[in-house]
Structure 1
Amino acid sequence: MAVAALSNEETKPIAAWGAVLSMALCVAVLIASEFMPVSLLTPMAEGLRATEGQTGQAISISGLFAVAASMVITTAAGTLNRKWVLIALTGFMLVSLVMVAAALDFTVLMLGRALLGICIGGFWALAAAVIMRLVPESDVPRALALMYGGQAIAAAFAAPIGSYLGGIFGWRAVFWALTPIVAVNLVWHVIALPSLPARQRQGFRTMFGLLRRPYFLRGLIASMLSWGSAFTMFTYLRPFLEQVTGADVTTLSILLLVLGCAGFVGTWASGRYVSGSVAPLLKVPTLLMGGCTLGLLLFGGSVVAAGLFLAVWGAMNTTMSVIWMTWMSQNVDDAPEAAGSLMVAAIQASILLGAVVGGLLLDGLSISATFAGSVVVAVIGIALIGNGQRLLKPE
């Protein structure tokens, strides 16, 4: 379905856009599942008799297991066909949602979120390498943008709908509602994904080899800072909008919808304009997102100002993913699975640390301290990226 035979037994993909769309749907439900607690943080905390800072760790625990899974997935999967590995990971997501929706205490919630973390780490570690096999090289940025369109869909609709429906039916109903979508995606994977036999095994030795490349290590740290800044803020966005902006449930849902819909703009722009060397673009998302977080600190009491800042933040959030994964595909094309594992581990570690540090700042100081910490991390990331040239592989 997805490939045509060429000379010397080498195969190159004919664009398998149906499979890319299946990946995009998986991204949508994966992102929705991972970050739904952001829009439901307050009612989940009340229902489980925990603080908002503690409940925010439901995101950090999935990040912790995602880090571990991303590091071992290519070794653990060995010679297994990557199609069936992706199908199994999607099955883990379905089980996780059922556990979270049915959780009667904080422990079961955290176990369900840990299982989701395995799915997150495994899927994202393989995603870019799989996309590189589904379409020709020239179409990779566009295919990545399409796949991350699933992120935009989740950001646009999952949080506001989750917040709104959670207020009407309760937070458990929101997680139950995701389960049939994941089941449909599971079937779509089986139908649309072509056979993806394992290629050269890329395990820990390959990963360590990549870490000895200075340009890649710098990029890895820079990506960690970029995502760390973003999720120190995003994980605790609802408490900020409630406490500082004074948003009720309806206003909160509208603001989250604005943020999410802006993600479509970022996806469209990245698919259209991200091509060639991405060096000049690497710092743009972190610069603008950090600026928006600072703007919220200064002017977040206004609903209109908050909406404008969240719109820019949302557009840059999806753009950031496409830019960094395109950077990886261009600069580590000789070991895409190993590079993907390291990238996902770095990003999930930054989400984990962002949620932990942000929660400590929230519980120990204030929500403003959490957002200020996000800005500081963004500044460090921008300084490391510079003009992006030092993050490119040598000619």
Structure 2
Amino acid sequence: MNDVESTSITDLSTPALEKPIETSGLGQWMSVFAVALGAFAFVTTEYLPVGILPQIASELGVTDGTAGLMVTIPGIVAAISAPTVMIGAGKVNRRHLLILLAVLLVASNLISAVAPNLLTMLLGRGLLGVALGGFWAIAIAAAGRLVTRDKAAKATAIIFAGITFATVLGVPFGTFISTLFSWRASFLATAALALIALAAQMMTLPSLAANESLQVKTLLRYLGKNSTQRSILLMGLIIAAHFASYTYIAPFLVQRAGFSASGITLTLLGFGVLGMLANFLVSASVTRHLQLSLAGAVLLMIASLVSLPWVVDSGAGVIAAVLVWGVAYGAIPLALSTWMQLTSPQLPEASSAMLVTTFQIAIASGSLLGGMIVDGYGIEPTLFFGAVLGGLGLVAMATFGLGHDRLINKLQG
């Protein structure tokens, strides 16, 4: 994990919680890796349907667009649960909450694995949303308490590395398992992964008592800022642009580009690997030129989305466009995370809660609108729709003016 991300995220973990737990060095790091494994399991489960969506849709007897609700529903529920858990957790021990949320993750995967119809599937995915939003709301704040204060940045970086590896491996992993067995086996595999994470947390997490939780008035004060509102709009548009198209990338590769299951697995793996590399390489640029870095990444994504329908007859062209898209999206979450944290360094828990909420709402709305377009007009139009949303995100960014120092003043003013 890069220095920018670890430093900025660490700032979210200090205000409302007690001093770090005093345990042995080995015990501290074992608990950190246990939470990181939980992060990997959560994000893998969230993105799992993307690579196996056509198979699920076929067996459950629904359209690809309707099957996209498997991405939409957990996003909506997680958007609600993130601030709700942060506000409602009160003085409940964070260890108990993290373990409970891991149990819900296991249950979600098991329900999805045996789902006989779409309704049952969406019930399992909704349960994922509850666990997902709550996990990030608690894990971000608890990360810095698992080790001594001087090691908090490193601990937070390790936990968030779980996201990176899940982004790289999660979707290709699910696709690969489904080609060997079935899509149901993919959910069983993620259930096993979640169970391992649960066991690791039960064995290693120390008591994480809390003194207070995020207050409603604090969250409302943060949301009342004009810079916060515009930043939320900016983030929502860009993330929705990605997921309006990415949710249906597997149907596009199968139906329009004629890719095999193994071809999809390798292409999505390449998407993830290049995205991970971009996340690391762009860190210095994000620190010094946040607007330029984010704008460049969004423009790359738009170019990829627009080009895909035109290169559909060329396998190499499709792969190249998807890989460029991977580079673009690899840089986007880091830039947006840094942007949102700059909106209110003095209210880190509020910005943390809204970061999770906005991200999940954008995932849900993007996949939902994309699914409606896929069912009504075909897959190519949703790629153009994603490009339009990305363009609107650039317009929202332009309202902050130009210049790094000016941007920071406007975000924090």
Q: TM-score range by the shorter chain?
A: 0.7 to 0.9
Give 1:198 shift.
Answer: 2.3
The answer to whether the aligner puts 1:251 opposite 2:269 as a matched pair is no
- 2:327 alignment partner in structure 1: 315
Is the partner of 1:332 in helix, strand or coil?
Answer: coil
Q: Which residue of 1 aligns with 2:230?
A: 218
- Write the deviation string for residues 338-360 of structure 1: whole angstroms up to 9, x where unpaired: 22222211111111111111011
TM-score by length of 1: 0.88
- Paired with 1:116 and 1:159, the residues of 2 have a C-alpha distance of 16
- 1:33 offset after TM fit, Å? 0.8
For 2:224 and 2:378, locate their aligned partners in 1 and report how far apart those are by CA, in whole Å. Answer: 40
Describe the shift of the 1:236–1:328 C-alpha distance in structure 2 as closer, same or farther (beyond 3 A).
same
Aligned twin of 1:190 = 202
Residue 344 of structure 2: aligned partner? 332
- Structure 2 unmatched ranges of 5 or more: 1-16
CA distance in 2, matches of 1:269, 1:18: 28
Output one character per residue of 1:111-166: Cα deviation in whole Å (capped at 9) or x when no partner. 10100011111122334333455578998776665444323322332322322321
Partners of 2:21 and 2:206 within 8 A in 1? no
Deviations 1:234-258 (A, max 9, x none): 1011111112222111211111111
Structure 1 residues 230 and 144 mapped into 2: Cα distance closer, same or farther (>3 Å)? farther
- Residue by residue, what CA displacement relative to the aligned partner does 1:345-391 show, whole Å, maximum 9, x if unpaired? 11111111111110111010011111000000000111212346446
**1:5 alignment counterpart:** none
Given that 1:67 and 1:345 are in contact with CA atoms closer than 8 Å, whether structure 2 keeps it comes out as yes
Contact 1:151 1:318 in 2 (8 A): no
- Equivalent residue number for residue 393 of structure 1: 411
CA distance in 2, matches of 1:318, 1:23: 22
Moved more, 382-391 or 169-178: 382-391
Report the Cα distance in structure 2 between the residues aligned to 1:330 and 1:131, rounded to whole angstroms: 20
State which drifts further: 26-35 or 158-167. Answer: 158-167
- Which one-letter code corresponds to 2:183 in the other structure? W
**Which residue does the alignment assign to 1:345?**
357
Which amino acid is the alignment partner of residue 340 of structure 1? Answer: S
User: Do structure 1's residue 51 and structure 2's residue 63 form an aligned pair?
Assistant: yes
Q: Distance in 1 between matches of 2:152 and 2:278?
A: 17
Question: In 2, are the aligned partners of 1:98 and 1:179 still within 8 Å (CA)?
Answer: yes
- Contact 1:60/1:353, CA 8 A, preserved across alignment: yes
The residue identity in structure 2 corresponding to 1:236 is Y
Which amino acid letter does the alignment assign opposite residue 31 of structure 1?
Answer: V
User: Structure 2 vs 1, CA of residues 322 and 147 (structure 1 numbering), >3 Å: closer, same or farther?
Assistant: farther
Cα deviation for residue 18 of structure 1 reads 4.4
- 1:164 partnered with 2:176: yes
- Distance in 1 between the 2:348 and 2:96 partners? 19
Q: Equivalent residue of 2:412, what SS?
A: coil
**1:60·1:352 contact (CA, 8 Å) conserved in 2?**
yes
- Tell me if 1:121 matches 2:133: yes
SS in 2 for 1:238: helix
| 1:271–1:280 CA distance, 2 compared to 1 (3 A) | closer
Q: Which residue of 1 aligns with 2:386?
A: 374
- Equivalent residue number for residue 173 of structure 1: 185
Per-residue deviation, residues 174-217 of structure 1 (Å, max 9, x unmatched): 11111221111112223444443324421322211111122222
- Alpha carbons of 1:301 and 1:336: their partners in 2 closer, same or farther (altered >3 Å)? farther
Deviation at residue 319 of structure 1 after TM alignment: 3.0
Counterpart CA distance in 2 for 1:270 and 1:289 is 15
1:140–1:286 distance in 2 versus 1, CA, 3 Å: farther
The CA deviation at 1:12 is 6.6
Q: Does 1:296 align with 2:296?
A: no
**Equivalent in the alignment of 2:241:** 229
Cα contact 1:126–1:340 (8 A) shared by 2: no
Kept in 1, the 8 Å contact 2:52–2:175? The answer is yes
Contact 2:32 2:158 in 1 (8 A): yes
CA deviations 1:264-288 (Å, max 9, x no partner) are 3134325666546745434343232
Are the aligned partners of 1:125 and 1:343 in contact in 2 as well (CA < 8 Å)? no
In 2, the alpha carbon distance for the partners of 1:327 and 1:139 equals 24
The one-letter amino acid paired with 1:43 is Q
What percent of counterpart residues are identical?
A: 27
Cα distance, 1:269–1:78 mapped onto 2, change above 3 Å: same
Distance 1:21 1:170, change over 3 A: same
Write the distance in 1 (CA, Å) between the matches of 2:152 and 2:321: 30
Distance 1:192 1:262, change over 3 A: farther
SS of residue matched to 1:305:
helix
> TM-score scaled to structure 2, two decimals?
0.84
CA distance in 1, matches of 2:209, 2:291: 33
**1:128–1:329 contact (8 Å) kept in structure 2:** no
Corresponding residue number in structure 1 for 2:13: none
Amino acid at match of 2:173: I
The answer on whether the counterparts of 1:141 and 1:275 sit within 8 Å (CA) in structure 2 is no
Contact kept in structure 1, 2:227 and 2:343, CA below 8 Å:
no
For residue 171 of structure 1, report the CA deviation from its aligned partner: 0.7
